[in-house]
Amino acid sequence: MNELAGKHIVLGLSGGVACYKSAELCRALIKEGATVQVVMTEAAAQFITPVTMQALSNRTVYGSQWDAREANNMPHINLSREADAILVAPCSADFIARLAQGRADELLSLLCLARPAQQVPLLLAPAMNREMWAHPATQRNLAQVAQDGATVLAVGNGDQACGETGDGRMLEPAELLEEVIAFFTPKVLAGQKVLVTAGPTFEAIDPVRGITNHSSGKMGFAIARAAREAGAEVTLVAGPVHLPTPRGVHRINVQSAQKMLEAVVPRAQVATVFIATAAVADWRPATQAEQKIKKDGSGQTPVLGFVENPDILATVAQSQHALVGDLFCVGFAAESHDLLAHASAKRERKGVPLLVGNIGPATFGQDDNALLLVDAQGHRELPRASKRALARQLVAEIALRLPVPRV
């Protein structure tokens, strides 16, 4: 999607085995439209060659503050002035200590120190052994660099190159890419608590069978991601889908509509925005057999009775929290025809300020979609685009409709 188009990133590598991930990260940043200038410490060059990084970034790599290629002989000034951000990945324990002290005796720390801090943000992706990570000196230095304005990204947990297991792994390239994109996203939902439902529900008939639908959950997951990138604290209540949880999103997995309702109701009471994208089954079997229903050889088919499921969106929209205007509710409508008429009627029926219509069969499982936004003022189409792009547009539309925070 070229989500980093026009961004120039200085990718700094300090010494660590995780340098091998930086090659992939460099490619990923460029694939999203960024230009990347690689700067490596001497230690980093022990782990991956500047030749590799040069080939991937399509620019010569800088490694010395004495590099005479720059006409003014000041690579630390020139490189830091043109950057939209400096990302140090991997950022070793030693490099964090150097930043904390404001050291400037090699190019990468020198350019971090020399950057105009208000215009050029510094992002750090720590990578080290778990004991080094947990050491009070490292934690003290991390707190110091964060206080000095750096954004310290999380570390992963798992197997380490040294054979130990624990905290301190550098995030994976795809995760770092998500973090960089999130970093540049305008924080239009800062301070908001967003609750999203997504995916289908599964209504059990017996322990091995059930009723569900074709909802993939992709739209809801994309919205959860976009809301988090826009600065919200996001909880995602998901039916049975095999999608990765967007970074920084709190996910709760449920199966049935009733379990979804139980997960949603208490969380809606503390949310400020509720977005119901889930394709909730309208009915569930009246009884759920404890054991698998077997054929008895008579050719008789079992008779299934159904009861209606609770309407989660309508329940939340009628809660006191929503009625007094503290919770902005957004519904979705999956229709097969007459989208505007059905979406408008559904908006009234569910009692929500904003309803988003889409043609169900055309979107289930797809990566793109088209949306019709219906509110009290009228309707507006968001033309066909990727679910990711639509999610970002929808988040912006929701932000515009939120009440101005009370002081």
Instruction: Give contact residues for ligand CTP (rule: CB under 6 A).
Output: 197, 257, 276-278, 280, 282, 309, 311-313, 331-334, 346, 350
Q: Just list the catalytic residues.
A: 162
Bridge partner list, 39: 12, 62
Q: Can you tell me whether residue 273 is helix, strand or coil?
A: strand
Q: For residue 92, what is the DSSP state?
A: -
How far apart, in whole angstroms, are the C-alpha atoms of residue 358 and residue 332? 8
User: What are the structure tokens assigned to 293, written together?
Assistant: 């229903």
146/323 with CB nearer ligand CTP: 323
Selection from 225, 255, 219 nearest residue 237 by Cα: 255
How far apart CA 369 and CA 274 sit, in angstroms, is: 21
Query: Rounded to a whole number, what is the distance in angstroms from the first to the last CA of the chain?
Result: 38
Token output for 320 = 């006191």
Cβ-based nearer residue to ligand CTP, 127 or 354: 354
Look at residue 298 and give its three-state secondary structure: coil
Rounded to whole angstroms, the Cα distance separating 37 from 27 reads: 12
| Of 63 and 200, CB closest to ligand CTP | 200
d(CA 232, CA 272): 10
| Beta carbon of residue 350, minimum distance to ligand CTP (angstroms, whole number) | 6
Residue nearer to ligand CTP on the CB measure, 231 or 239: 239
Residues paired with residue 35 on neighbouring β-strands, in sequence order: 8
Handedness of CA 366, 3, 332, 285 (dihedral sign): positive
Rounded CA separation 83/115 (Å)? 9
CB of 282 to ligand CTP, least distance (A): 5
**Closer residue to ligand CTP in complex, CB, 65/197:** 197
Q: Whole-number minimum distance, CB 247 to ligand CTP, in Å? A: 24
| Least CB distance to ligand CTP at residue 307 (A) | 12
Task: Give whichever of 124 and 254 is closer to ligand CTP, judged by the CB atom.
Answer: 254
CA distance 2 to 274: 29
- Is 93:138 a contact under the CB 8 Å cutoff? yes
From the CB of 61, what's the least distance to ligand CTP, in Å? Answer: 50
Distance CA 71, CA 52 (A): 25
| Least Cβ distance, residue 148 to ligand CTP (angstroms) | 45
What is the C-alpha to C-alpha distance for residues 40 and 234, in angstroms, rounded to an integer? 36
Nearer to ligand CTP, 193 or 350 (CB): 350
Residue 217 backbone class (left: φ over 0; alpha: ψ -120 to 50; beta: rest) = left
